Amino acid sequence: MVTDSVTVRQLNANEISVYKALRLEALYSEPASFISQTDDWLALPADKWREKLRTPVFVALSGGEAVGMMSLLPNEHVKIRHRATIAGVFVRESFRGSGVASRLFRVLEEYARDRKIFQLELSVIGNNPRALRFYERAGFEIVGRIPNALLDKRRRANEIIMARRIDPLSKHDEFLVHEL
């Protein structure tokens, strides 16, 4: 798979159909990788789908077709505005291992950096070793685990919390960071 033909861009508020199709594809094809269930999202009215696009959602396109996505959930509170959460990550099976996820991440990271977000955080379901390896290669470190974070009729899974600094705090910042 050649990633030169793949472009990455942010979805706009009018592209609900693109977002909805890719999100539902992700939930149908990889139900064990997400906390949400397909039924949770199928029940959403159009205004809720539009609301989801108020936060940055980046999409990878190949030949005009959406093949991957990654969302960024910034924090609004002043003390934690320097942090954001990556969510809703999905790359279509036929594009995995092609560099699409890395391209999505680079665009998301640049977007975050431009907005003075210095730390990216995410959670991964523990039974998704491929995702864990990708995030570790991207510089994320495991900072915690929530045992039995996911329970359903067929399985239990741990949630692994990861973080990555994308820009060091400036020595000119008005505060000092102290470990407790």
Residue range 92-113, pLDDT digits in tens: 999 999 999 999 999 999 999 9
* pTM of the predicted model as reported, rounded to 2 decimal places: 0.87
pLDDT at residue 160 in the model: 95
123 within domain boundaries: yes
131 within domain boundaries: yes
Q: Which two tokens stand for residue 95?
A: 């594009």
- Binning pLDDT at 50, 70 and 90, where does residue 1 land? very low
Domain count, the chain: 1
Cα dihedral 76, 77, 79, 83 sign: negative
CATH number of the domain bearing residue 70: 3.40.630.30
Share of the chain above pLDDT 90, in %: 66
pLDDT at residue 41 in the model: 87
Q: Round to whole Å and give the CA distance between 170 and 104.
A: 26
* pLDDT at position 4 over 90: no
- For residue 55, the enclosing domain spans 3-165
14 within domain boundaries: yes
